Amino acid sequence: MRIVFASYVCSSGFTNPGEWLQRTNFYTGIPEALSRENEVISIEQIDYEGRYQQNGVDYHFMDFGKRTVLFPWQQHRYIKALQPDVVFVHGLHFAIQVIQLRLQLGSRVKIIAQHHAERPSRWPKRYLQQLAAYCIDAYLFTSQAMGVDWMKKAHIRSTGKIHGVMEGSSVFYPVAQSLARAKTGVQGAPAFLWVGRLNDNKDPLTVVRAFLQFTRQYPEARLYMIYHTTELLPEIESLLQSEAAYKDKIILVGKVPHDDLLYWFNSVPFIISGSHYEGSGIAVCEAMSCGCIPVLTDILSFQLLTNNGNCGVLYAPGNEAALLQALLQVTTLDVAVERSKVLAQFQSQLSFEAIAKKIQEVIASL
């Protein structure tokens, strides 16, 4: 079977194909896992043109012209010439393009659209999404429940086409904590890690407030915060200044190279998030691949990651008291047992191999 991955997004500023694939390795492992049983081609659009082979996938780096995004005739002709059996389209906001793609490919080729955290469009684009639903054979969402919720808000009735498949995974792996802490300098009993933007959706203020209360009972606890945007950093710093006796319990690390996260995730037993919405939760997935026990908000994507809270603890988003109770609860867990559950959940449901298996099952059902 020939599977073609395609996107209508051009990522300028990247000229090295190997570096680009390394940058997107949380996703490239999926087509590479699929290539073990299929012929897989992935069309990429950066500031480079040429073919590139990696781990069984034939990457086609193409320049279709940045002005042809709305009417990508050249790209569609190219895809058709590849004679695919299945075409994966990244994102759900390209309704008019998908309609054109179906007209170009005819009815034989299966089109699968993968959700990447997009919200349903408003009118009139919502009408185009409804039309595109007739052209799409399957939708992939992180969870079935997320897909049903999205379709309901978009007023699309094609809920039978929804499949729960994680959108990305992790290249990280467990490392001895002593080795990891030698590199990161992490201390704390227990130690927690935050990885994410400091914006309203991620809700770091609720996390910081609850953790400061937690340290009143567990003064040796530490929270390390890694972030690459700083929207709410002034508010966090002000909050820490107002809690002078406890401010050293939270360490604002800032931005670190992505590869270094391997050691950060392996330095702590717990990963914490305050998100109100996530398309999937790649950072949490990466943490779980290292055995981090998740303390997460009870949202649809995190329910999928944790098998409905079977791994770690879930709490109500934005609820400081609920998070404090969750933090207190994790202190009663057998960390070794819970860590084993987390690693088993990652391997069986969140790894590249597990995702590829689910996609293969979706394709077989079409």
State how far the Cα of 4 lies from the Cα of 20, in Å rounded to an integer: 18
Question: Per-residue b/e over 351-365, b at no fewer than 16 CB within 10 Å?
Answer: bbbbbbbbbbebbee
What CATH homologous superfamily does 177-350 map to?
Glycogen Phosphorylase B; (3.40.50.2000)
- Domain 2-169+352-365, CATH among 3.10.20.30, 3.20.20.80, 3.40.50.2000, 3.40.50.300: 3.40.50.2000
Residue 162: HSE in the Cβ half-sphere, 13 Å Cα cutoff: 19
Element containing residue 233 per DSSP (H, E): helix 233-242
Residue spans per domain, the chain: 2-169+352-365, 177-350
Nearest to 355 by CA among 169, 212, 229, 201: 169
**CA nearest to 99, candidates 116, 111, 85, 108:** 111
pLDDT at 219 (0 to 100): 95
* List of the chain residues with pLDDT < 70: 66-68
The secondary structure of residue 67, as a DSSP letter, is: G
Residue 66 pLDDT: 67
What is the structure's pLDDT at 245?
81
Q: Decide if 2-169+352-365 and 177-350 have a common fold.
A: yes
In the chain, what percentage of residues exceed pLDDT 90?
86
CA distance 249 to 43: 46
Q: Please identify which residue in the block is written with the tokens 């996530």.
A: 278
| Secondary structure of residue 154 in the 3-state scheme | helix
Q: What is the DSSP letter of 118?
A: P
Assign 59 to helix, strand or coil. strand
Pairing type for strands 270-272 and 293-297 reads: parallel
Residue 247: what pLDDT? Answer: 78
